[in-house]
Amino acid sequence: MRDLANALGIEAASIYSHIRSKEEILQRVCFRMADEFFGAIEAVKDENASATEQLKRAISAHVQVLTRNTEASAVFLQEWRHLSEPHHTEFLALRDRYENYFREIIRLGIASGEFQVPDEKFAVLTILSGLNWIHTWYKPEGKMKPAEIAENLSAMLLSGLKKNLN
């Protein structure tokens, strides 16, 4: 709190004119980011597109949110564990719902014959882990732009490392 106050140029105690507690900050960051992720993914939702196309768009949306808010994303991805009840439970429910977006796409892709996957849930976890690692190395001033990152990720996750003989 004293560090935060210092960064704001005010006294630690003054923070409490704006928030009720330290945990409230955590809650706000976590649930605002959840909103951002849902907003982004819902904006690119398109029932008529192929599973491949849907997945590409979802990945792109996710990467955009992640790179636009690197610090809040780090909190969202790592610090939600420290949420107190009932927020902890609520957060996990939201995360599940978000994962289900991806799961639906995978399911659709399997049904349409586009995808071939060892395990559905496992596939989603691996995809999201690849996406969620970005915040640890992404730098806005780096040479790889968000759109390019999304493209590369889509390529790797869809086609893998193996040389494509098409």
Partner DNA sequence: TAAACAACCTAACGTTCGTTAGCAAGTAAT
Partner DNA sequence: ATTACTTGCTAACGAACGTTAGGTTGTTTA
How is residue 89 written in tokens?
């439970």
CA distances from 20 to 14, 28, 127, 130 (A): 11, 12, 37, 36
- Angstrom distance (rounded) from CA 43 to CA 37: 10
Quote the Cα angle for 55-58-61, to 5°: 150
Residues lying near DNA in the complex (CB under 7 A): 1-3, 5, 9-18, 20-23
Q: Identify which of residues 25 and 74 has a Cβ nearer to a second copy in the complex.
A: 74
Contact set for a second copy, span 60-99 (CB under 8 A): 78
- Angstrom distance (rounded) from CA 127 to CA 118: 13
In the complex, least distance from residue 33 CB atom to DNA, rounded to whole angstroms: 20
- Angstrom distance (rounded) from CA 1 to CA 12: 6
x/- mask, a second copy, residues 42-61, rule CB under 8 A, reads ----------x--x------
Residue from 50, 64, 70, 132 in contact with a second copy (CB under 8 A): 132
In the complex, least distance from residue 11 CB atom to a second copy, rounded to whole angstroms: 27
Query: Where do contacts with a second copy occur on this chain (CB under 8 A)?
Result: 52, 55, 78, 106, 109, 113-119, 122-123, 125-126, 128-130, 132-133, 137, 144, 149, 151-153, 155-164
